[in-house]
Amino acid sequence: MGKRLYFLIILFVSLLSTHFISAQCNSKVKANAKLISNELGEIKVDISTTERFECKLNTVSGKGQELVSLQTGNGSVTITFSDLDVSKIYQVEVEFITEENKLCRKLQQNDLIFESR
């Protein structure tokens, strides 16, 4: 009985770790906000992928989200959104059009704010 229980535990842990490994996304998104002047900023979005994508820059407020800009592309790129109002909070959302894994189809960077120097 002890060997059988030990075997079942090892089998369960192995299957669980295999599931988590397969759920990791191949595409990655990293966004940084940079203050350019007292009134203007820019957000650079590094997208690492082999997929087609749609990148949205939104402002976030108590009223919800509002689309600022939309860019599409394919493969790894850096997108720069310039002349942004530094008093607003931004969100970057990248949707990978051809991604089969639903957990990896949309990746976000939230609460992007401009820090004063």
Q: Which domains does the chain have, with CATH numbers?
A: 26-112 (2.60.40.2420)
32 near 48, Cβ under 8 Å? no
**Mind listing the pLDDT tens digit for each residue in 47-74?**
999 999 999 999 999 999 999 999 999 9
| Single-letter amino acid code for the residue at 91 | Q
pLDDT value for 24: 84
Would residue 83 be called left, alpha or beta, if left means φ above 0 and alpha means ψ between -120 and 50 degrees?
A: left
Is residue 20 over pLDDT 50? no
Going by pLDDT thresholds of 50, 70 and 90, the confidence category of residue 14 is low
As a whole number of angstroms, the distance between CA 65 and CA 78 comes to 23
pTM (two decimals): 0.75
